[in-house]
A and B are shown apart, each in its own frame.
Chain A
């Protein structure tokens, strides 16, 4: 990992943390939900409901974590595999 990449990752962390510091009292609800509220204000009634909903917020976050974990495992496997293929062999061990 080059210095450039460390700076880049630090920038991503900063981008996520800055809002929490600048606007500490905000609700941090979802933008999707805010749009939903705007639509409901017009008196619109959704005509179709989700076939299945996670029974609670905990279960929902569990499923979100699984989604992220599946992706992260694949990315990590790919990076490790390619790096390992390229690494010099060390047969003495």
Chain B
């Protein structure tokens, strides 16, 4: 989903950078708030950040015959909310832009918006709805993370279609980029959803009380377990 360095013309790269900045600033504020109120969340922050690091480095084959990678930011959004997921995603994207020539500094805004904002907002929203509807948490996390992953790639397709509409217009371009990105992503979204549930189940078992305290889960049983 990385838009390559220099591949977004003006005014689009400026626009996405402007969208990114307030969200990242708010996310940094949220991180300082949550770690001040609950210092025990620091290892948890490192964990969800590490999940983004691992998953976004895995280039996996897909049924379309091309490779793409999961994002990992959905789990961070489920546990800490989308703004914090945006900060963690930005760290990974900066690492990749500077050391791997993957993505770029001029396209950082667009890439943070898709992977760090749109995906996490979708994941977080889905998770909140699933919690309210009392959907079993494993399935809720799966759905939230898988949809967050998929919508990240839909967002990238929209960004590219806006910048590069074909003669037939935006929708035609969106269909083209969507075929490249979103379709490839479907099995990978499922895989990321499963991996997130794997880690989430562990967290509920060992860190249930902490997850309850920060409002990530709403499990009465978690109050008696873990710290």
Contacts and interface: CB of A to CB of B under 8 A. Distances in A.
Contacts of A60: 100-101
B135 interface: no
B61 to A, nearest CB: 5
B66 A39 contact: no
A48 B105 CA distance: 9
Counting chain A CB atoms within 10 Å of each CB, the highest count among B3, B5, B53, B198 belongs to: B53
Contacts, number: 167
B206 A64 contact: no
A68 B47 contact: no
A9 to B, nearest CB: 7
Given A8-B194, A42-B164, A67-B53, A75 B199 contact: yes
Contacts of B57: 64-65, 67-68, 71
Contact of B6 (A8, A49, A73, A78): A49
A29 B197 CA distance: 29
Nearest to A30: B67
A12 to B, nearest CB: 5
Given A36-B7, A46-B4, A74-B46, A63 B194 contact: no
Given A5-B201, A9-B198, A46-B5, A28 B67 contact: yes
A82 B187 CA distance: 31
Interface in A34-80: 34-36, 38-39, 42, 44, 46-54, 60, 63-65, 67-68, 70-75, 78-79
Interface residues of A, number: 53
Contacts of B52: 71
A81 B40 CA distance: 14
A82 B100 CA distance: 33
Contacts of A63: 99-100
B2 interface: yes
B164 A39 contact: yes
B191 interface: yes
Given A11-B194, A71-B57, 6 more contacts: A27-B66, A39-B164, A46-B7, A50-B101, A67-B96, A74-B47
Interface of B: 1-7, 9, 43, 46-47, 49-68, 92, 95-102, 104-106, 156, 160, 164, 166, 176-177, 180-181, 184-185, 187-188, 190-191, 194-195, 197-199, 201-202, 206-207
13 contacts: A12-B195, A23-B63, A27-B65, A29-B66, A29-B67, A34-B66, A35-B160, A38-B180, A47-B9, A50-B101, A52-B101, A68-B58, A75-B51
